[in-house]
Amino acid sequence: MYRPVHAAAALAAALFTGVSFQQLATARPGDYDDTAATLALHDRTRYTDGCATHHVPPWARVFLKAAVCFARLATAQDQHLLAGPHDRTHLLRVAEAARLRPPQPPASQRTGPAGRIQ
């Protein structure tokens, strides 16, 4: 189940990193270093930009700290920090509601193949 703390942290990370959803989904609780204020994101297949460490701006730290605290309370061994592989649709809907992504037409009203996400 996707929690609001994940959505807030994922949207914050998307804003300050500019990375793809696939890279956001690689973050684990240990990838956020609160002391150094950095977030490591991975791209094991080198599909997009490779692995990178991003500086976390002060305004985003509270969201990542909350996500880490929640992840530590969870019992799953392979806990995702920002998003799981099946959370993309939910995260896009949250971004639309927050006006961080233009509203998209329903799948039944789209014409032609889906374009590449930029």
According to the 3-state scheme, what is the secondary structure of 54-111? EECCHHHHHHHHHHHHHHHHCCCCCCCCCCCCCCHHHHHHHHHHCCCCCCCCCHHHCC
94 found inside a domain: yes
Read off the pLDDT of residues 69-100 as tens digits, 9 standing for 90 and up: 888 887 665 578 888 878 888 888 888 888 87
Residue 75 is predicted with a pLDDT of: 63
What confidence tens digit (pLDDT) does each residue in 12-52 have? 998 898 888 888 888 888 999 999 999 998 876 666 566 88
118 belongs to a structural domain: no
The order of strands in the sheet holding 52-55 is: 32-33, 38-41, 52-55
For the chain, how many structural domains are there in total? 1
Rounded-to-integer distance, Cα 12 and Cα 1, Å? 19
Residue carrying structure tokens 């799953």: 76
Tell me whether residue 56 is in a domain.
yes
Q: Residue 33: which domain range?
A: 4-103
Please report whether residue 78 resides in a domain. yes
What pLDDT, on a 0 to 100 scale, did the predictor assign at position 118? 46
Q: Indicate whether 50 belongs to any domain.
A: yes
